[in-house]
Structure 1
Amino acid sequence: MLAAGLLATRLWILEPMTVNSESMEPAVPTGSTILLYKPGPILAGVHAGDLVVFTSPEDGHPALKRAIAFRGQSVAIEDSVLMVDGVPQLEPGVDGRRIDGTYFGPVTVPEGHVFVLGDNRSGSIDSRIYGSVPLENVRATVLWPPGG
């Protein structure tokens, strides 16, 4: 009975995942184990700043990124500064010196989608490449480490 309960928990509620990409460094280093909360997107929704796991449109594998913007919001990067609806965003986990001179957008997030970025902008394949991700493709939010 205990084994069935643990299996059910892993299948539908909590699942550990090992990060195999540098795209979220330094907040979540390669090789780290994170804890996914599978009902999170349904129960609590997805909010700006959340770490989310979704099926990558690039290769079909699970991808870990930070939710940045949602329906109707404008996203741009101006000389390494993230702008959402024209307002600069505070990003303590992003080293602006490593991405100095980076420009992107602006783009508008379509209905039912989320714009995601890796904290390690120079080493991340994210919404700048494959566009906004349908919210229905978000499989889980990250429960631990909190906020990455």
Structure 2
Amino acid sequence: MDGKRIFREILEVIIPALILFLVIRAFLFEARYVPSPSMHPTIMVWDRFLVEKVTYRFREPKRGEIVVFRPPAQVLKMMKEIPVPNTPLQTQDFIKRIIGLPGETIWIREGTVYIDGQPLAEDYISPDRQPLYEYGPVRIPEGHYLMLGDNRNHSWDGHNWGFVPRKNIIGRAFWRFWP
């Protein structure tokens, strides 16, 4: 009888704790890591951070925020057909910076991002990481965002595959806890 009582007491602690953990992970916070150098130097390979999932229920995402999102379906299909270095297939969610907002016209020329004709000030991009490619001009559809990695020339991002629907944004990276 004593063994059954101990087992029951353990379950009374473990089950509520597990339920609480699952609720927190599903609706509030989630730990993530970065498997590639696409966000260097802001986020390094294997950095771990928390993603909060509450903010975007009350407001729209803003330019410059670093977000975790599910890439559009065609991107996952391309990942299976064309292996992307340093990106394991099981890592289906991406982390990038929001650069373009719905309705804006974006282009990249000579290392500078332009939004509706105005150069974007990007103090998080060092001169050696400015894009060597050209892009656009292209208008971002309503309800979509352009995501780019901070390591522009070593990031598989929106300049390769287009825009991310608002519904695909999981949350905002807000706290790096390791290392």
What TM-score, normalized to structure 2?
A: 0.75
Q: How many residues align?
A: 145
The residue matched to 1:128 in structure 2 has which SS?
A: helix
User: What is the deviation of 1:86?
Assistant: 1.1
Q: Is 1:27 matched up with 2:42? A: yes
2-side partners of 1:19 and 1:100: how far apart? 21
Aligned to 1:90, which of 121, 144, 156? Answer: 121
| Residue number in structure 2 paired with 1:48 | 63
| Residue number in structure 2 paired with 1:59 | 76
- Unaligned segments of structure 2, at least 5 residues: 1-15, 78-91
Alignment check: 8 A CA contact 2:144 2:164 kept:
yes
User: What is the deviation of 1:97?
Assistant: 2.7
Name the stretch that deviates more: 132-141 or 33-42: 33-42
Name the stretch that deviates more: 100-109 or 73-82: 100-109
| Matched residue type, 1:144 | W
What TM-score, normalized to structure 1?
A: 0.89
- Higher-Rg structure is 2
2-side partners of 1:100 and 1:25: how far apart? 13
Structure having the larger proportion of residues in strand: 1
Alignment of 1:113-128 (within 5 A): 113-128=144-159
1-side partners of 2:34 and 2:143: how far apart? 26
RMSD of aligned residue pairs (Cα, Å) = 1.6
Structure having the larger proportion of residues in helix: 2
User: What is the deviation of 1:134?
Assistant: 0.6
1-side partners of 2:28 and 2:131: how far apart? 40
Report Cα offsets for 1:79-112 as digits up to 9, x if no partner: 0111111111111221233446432111110011
